[in-house]
């Protein structure tokens, strides 16, 4: 049995540019990942199967297994590497779906990592990244689980800056935000966006991180707030938390996050969010 964590993905910033010739948006972003998230377990089997448990499993109950990104990742890897074995795959679903924190992408990436070990596959990093990009724009970055800079439409992934110890509080109002309509609303509001740019960073302190959050943005945040005004309320609440270094929405929403230097401040923000009836999680970030 092989187990892989599928951590939540946070966009510390997300700068969106014009639509490329392939129909994808040009992006510039800094991805970081929490230590906690979903979990993938795989075991040897003759055929492919997928079972789902966990507190957020109900949100996927109506989705046929073959339409799950985990199943698609499994079939894509088998075909690309000529594998005949099957696998019994178990997803422990802890993160909300359609939430802007890469849940499905992280699950697919964790599945690829686990199956490569289970099936003893030798595959070059660049080939694996190309396969991952065929599954979704966020999947290549989710393969690493470490801070990464993302450019292109998600296919250009490079090591991110050295970050100080950080905790994150994630808060979701329980509203699913489909990615497509948010990007469409961005296009309407920004018919000729500039090419996205990223600030130059090598290593950063807690103070520098606060400056980074102040100098950057999530370009999809206004469109998501128009669909779910609760997002603005959450960001405002998180931004007033004790010890907060910065707060904003992740991805296309609706999950928002705040960064903290101290675990107790992140945990306090989580408790306050749960008192409001929101889903919330506090977790350290993966820094390796």
* DSSP H or E run through 90: strand 86-92
Which is catalytic among the residues 36, 107, 138, 219? 138
Q: Are 121 and 81 in contact (CB under 8 A)?
A: yes
For the chain, the distance separating the N- and C-terminal CA atoms, rounded to the nearest angstrom, is 25
Active site residue 265: no
Active site residue 36: no
- The tokens of 39 are what? 């979990």
Residues 6+ apart with CB under 8 A from 129: 140, 143, 155, 157
Q: How far is CA 73 from CA 11, 54, 69, 144, 165, in A?
A: 23, 21, 6, 16, 32
What is the C-alpha to C-alpha distance for residues 110 and 104, in angstroms, rounded to an integer?
10
Which is catalytic among the residues 9, 93, 219, 265? 9
| Residue 100 DSSP label | S
Helix (H, G, I), strand (E, B) or coil at 112: helix
Choose among 5, 56, 14, 70: nearest CA to 34: 5
Choose among 172, 184, 277, 191: nearest CA to 223: 184
Query: What is the separation of C-alpha 150 from the centre of its chain, rounded to a whole number of angstroms?
Result: 12
The beta strands (E) that lie in 130-255 are given as: 148-151, 156-159, 167-172, 244-249
Per this entry, what is the length of the chain?
288
The residues facing 270 across adjacent strands are none
Catalytic residue annotation: 9, 138
């Amino acid at each position: 049995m092989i187990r892989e964590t599928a951590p939540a993905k946070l966009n510390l910033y997300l700068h969106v540019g014009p639509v490329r010739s392939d129909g994808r948006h040009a992006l510039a972003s800094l991805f970081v990942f929490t230590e906690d998230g979903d979990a993938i377990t795989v075991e040897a089997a003759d055929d492919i199967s997928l079972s789902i448990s966990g507190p957020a499993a109900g949100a996927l109950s109506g989705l046929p297994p073959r339409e799950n990104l985990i199943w698609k990742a499994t079939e894509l890897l088998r075909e690309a590497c000529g594998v005949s074995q099957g696998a019994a795959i178990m997803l422990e679903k802890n993160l909300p779906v359609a939430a802007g924190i890469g849940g499905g992408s992280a699950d697919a990436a964790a599945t690829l990592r686990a199956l490569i070990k289970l099936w003893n596959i030798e595959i070059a990093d660049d080939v694996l990244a190309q396969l991952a990009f065929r599954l979704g724009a966020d999947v290549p970055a989710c393969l690493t689980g470490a801070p990464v800079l993302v450019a292109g439409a998600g296919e250009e992934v490079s090591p991110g800056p050295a970050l100080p110890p950080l905790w994150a509080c994630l808060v979701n109002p329980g509203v699913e935000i489909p990615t497509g309509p948010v990007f469409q609303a961005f296009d309407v509001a920004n018919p000729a966006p500039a090419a996205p740019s990223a600030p130059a960073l090598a290593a950063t302190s807690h103070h520098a991180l606060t400056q980074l959050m102040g100098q950057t943005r999530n370009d999809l945040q206004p469109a998501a707030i128009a669909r779910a005004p609760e997002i603005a309320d959450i960001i405002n609440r998180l931004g007033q938390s004790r010890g907060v270094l910065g707060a904003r929405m992740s991805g296309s929403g609706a999950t928002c996050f705040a960064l903290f230097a101290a675990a107790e401040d992140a945990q306090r923000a989580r408790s306050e969010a749960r008192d409001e009836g929101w889903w919330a999680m506090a977790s350290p970030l993966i820094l390796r």
